[in-house]
Amino acid sequence: MEMLKKLLCLSGFLLGLAGAAQECPVPVFPEDGDFVPVDVTLTWTEVLGITSYKIRLGTTPGGSEIQTLTSTGLDTFYTPTQGLPENSTIFVELYIFNRLTGDQLCDTYSFNTQSFTSPPECTEMISPADGQVNVPVQSDLRWSYSATATSYRISAGTSPGGTDLLNNALVTDGLTFDPSFDWPEETEVFVRIIPENRLGPADGCEEFRFTTGPLATLPECSSILYPSDGEFDIPLSPRIRWTQVTGAEGYRVSIGTSPSQSDILNNADFGNQTETGVIDFEPNRQYFVTIVPYNIAGEALNCDTTSFFTLLGCGPFFDPDGNLIDFSPELNFPETVGICSIGAIEPITSTDQADGYRWYGIENQNREVLLEQGPVFTPPGPGEYRLEIYNEISDPSGVSVECASSRIFSVTQSEPAIIEETDVDLGVGVLTIEVTVSGIGDYEFALNDPEGPYQDSNRFSGLPLGNYRVFVRDRNGCGVTEVLVEPDLTLEGFPKFFTPNGDGINDFWQFILPPSGVSPIRRLFIFDRFGNLLAQVDPQTAGWDGTFNGRPMPASDYWFRAINNNNQEIRGHFSLKR
């Protein structure tokens, strides 16, 4: 089959590599030229489709004495394990690693560290843990980094404050101390670790203690058999295998997506097994594995971490031409679908293009049931469902893969609208219609034409005087309801009284023109209370002056009949006051 490619527009720093052009991460903090503390964490923006990031740090351009080129997996941050030197310019090289094109240098920049202003704070011992018992006699000491510390002084003894085992040993190149001797067996050991810098040592650091176990031999580290270190195209559900170690009683395995975390397996104990299955790794990722044998004496020391790369799979990933590839189909199916509560349930159809479709009913958080396959689905009723669409591809490694996209959606019941009432608000020459409906549907509204245009609002404003037919349509296809609105126009625009006394105020009775200046009234007739026609008024004149054949009419109630431009008749009455 022809593979589906979605080519995404790339932006950012563009660097050439084997004819490819890929998006690069952008430093977030520190930025070029910043002044920062020595215990800074470097961060950068995320890039889709790559396999991992790599970083190198030094005090000269291209230098690596702070950190040789190392992978961070897909972590967009890196914290130097021992901090940074003070009052220095730090040069950074930031890379992306692409499975098909290798390492690509994306950015080179520098920032400056601040000077120390005080001695460091005290540290915490990591291993052995404070108070730990049955500690192997061959154990080394490990502690956490203390910000601004450049070295550490280690003392240890068999009594509080004692130095009979170690006396102020200096460590300048790490956060571990591997003594040249074994700790005395079955003995309580007291340890003090004091960070220091050029301004002095940390003050008041507490003493840690641990108790050793009986004399025994720690196992050696195991070697990974599969996947081998740096191996590519590992399946998404491989079996991790390692060598058996003489004297080991079991193995603890950690797997993570970066060297700094174990988010897949965290020190999982597999007993005396030398392999384990792992389900559902993600494609196009680098994974880091550490295997630590153990026995009654403790765990093997300083075992290496290896890494491997999963197959490219569905993507997203960059091809050799710099295009970002994603074989998963694009899914635009709505999150809510309505079905009619009356009659048979109409099927719903996915218009998204894909090789296959699966429709699941969601019974609870832990259970789904496959209901139908294909682009058309007839839901059994209201509820929660999931649509999965997929393309079938062959990975570059030859593995057949389903690349899927899915969406959970709700099916709700719907019904035709019930029009409860229409409220007409008459203005001067215009009117507003508001329709009140009931029902469980999702409704939209139109005037005079059942084909629309429809609007979300149930209110129509600024309408010329006249009759209107309102249509209410259910968006889920449950039909259209209509109502004829015939406004009562007898009051609006027609004065209730006038006073023809020659004072220049209300001397004439006439229909009041709307703001447009265009009268909707075509003809206007005035009658007395006995129905005798007194005057025919042109809507474009000043109006009736309260006379008949030149004689003033008495103060009384009078009637009018108006004909509008739609040939509708409007009747009402008003008062003549003297």
> Does the domain spanning 16-113 belong to CATH 2.60.120.10?
no
What separation, in Å, do the N-terminal and C-terminal C-alpha atoms of the chain show?
Answer: 94
Residue 269's Cβ-count burial label (10 Å; 0-12, 13-18, 19+) is: exposed
SS3 129: coil
Architecture of domain 418-485: Sandwich (2.60)
- Residue 516 is predicted with a pLDDT of 65
Nearest alpha carbon to residue 420 among 400, 437, 399? 437
The span from the CA of 313 to the CA of 395, in Å, is: 6
- Residue 515 is predicted with a pLDDT of 67
Could you give the percent of the chain with pLDDT greater than 70? 92
| E strand intervals along 496-555 | 497-498, 521-527, 533-537, 547-548, 551-552
Reported as a single tens digit per residue, the pLDDT across 140-167 is: 999 999 999 999 999 999 999 999 999 9
Angle at 258 between CA 252 and CA 262, to 5 degrees: 30
Reported as a single tens digit per residue, the pLDDT across 506-522 is: 899 988 877 666 778 88
DSSP string, 217-285: PPPPPP-EEESPTT---B-SS-EEEE---TT--EEEEEEESBTTB-SSEEEEE-TT-SEEE---PPSS-
- Residues 10 and 324 sit within 8 Å (Cβ to Cβ): yes
With tokens 């006051």, the residue in question is: 577
Q: How far is CA 23 from CA 12, 43, 48, 437, 443, in A?
A: 5, 17, 8, 53, 45
The span from the CA of 127 to the CA of 142, in Å, is: 5
- Residues 293 and 131 sit within 8 Å (Cβ to Cβ): no
Per-residue pLDDT of the chain (578 residues; tens, 9 = 90+): 333 333 333 223 223 333 344 689 999 999 999 999 999 999 999 998 888 999 999 999 999 999 999 999 999 999 999 999 999 999 999 999 987 778 999 999 999 999 999 999 999 999 999 999 989 898 999 999 999 999 999 999 999 999 999 999 999 999 999 999 999 999 999 999 999 999 999 999 999 999 998 888 889 999 999 999 999 888 888 899 999 999 999 999 999 999 888 989 999 999 999 999 876 788 888 999 999 999 988 889 889 999 999 887 787 777 667 677 788 899 999 998 888 887 778 889 999 999 999 999 998 877 899 999 999 999 998 899 999 999 988 765 566 778 889 999 999 888 899 999 998 876 545 678 999 999 988 899 999 999 989 999 999 998 876 789 999 999 888 889 999 987 765 556 788 888 898 888 889 998 887 766 677 888 899 999 888 899 999 888 889 999 999 899 999 989 898 888 878 888 888 889 88
- Residue 397 is predicted with a pLDDT of 55
SS3 448: coil
- Residue 366 is predicted with a pLDDT of 76
- Residue 488 is predicted with a pLDDT of 62
The ranges assigned to domains in the chain are 16-113, 125-211, 224-309, 336-414, 418-485, 497-576
The span from the CA of 183 to the CA of 362, in Å, is: 59
The CATH code of the domain at 125-211 is 2.60.40
**Token pair for residue 323?**
């295009």
* Phi and psi angles of residue 488, each rounded to the nearest 5 degrees, phi first: -85, 105
- Residue 431 is predicted with a pLDDT of 77
The span from the CA of 47 to the CA of 342, in Å, is: 50
Architecture of domain 497-576: Sandwich (2.60)
Fold of 224-309: Immunoglobulin-like (2.60.40)
- Residue 492 is predicted with a pLDDT of 63
Reported as a single tens digit per residue, the pLDDT across 31-77 is: 999 999 999 999 999 998 888 999 999 999 999 999 999 999 999 99
Residue 532: partners with Cβ closer than 8 Å, 6 or more residues away: none
Reported as a single tens digit per residue, the pLDDT across 77-110 is: 999 999 999 999 999 999 999 877 789 999 999 9
The span from the CA of 11 to the CA of 47, in Å, is: 10
- Residues 99 and 22 sit within 8 Å (Cβ to Cβ): no
Domain 224-309 shares a fold with domain 418-485? yes
- Residue 9 is predicted with a pLDDT of 30
Q: Is the dihedral of CA 206, 211, 215, 221 positive or negative?
A: negative
- Residues 221 and 295 sit within 8 Å (Cβ to Cβ): no
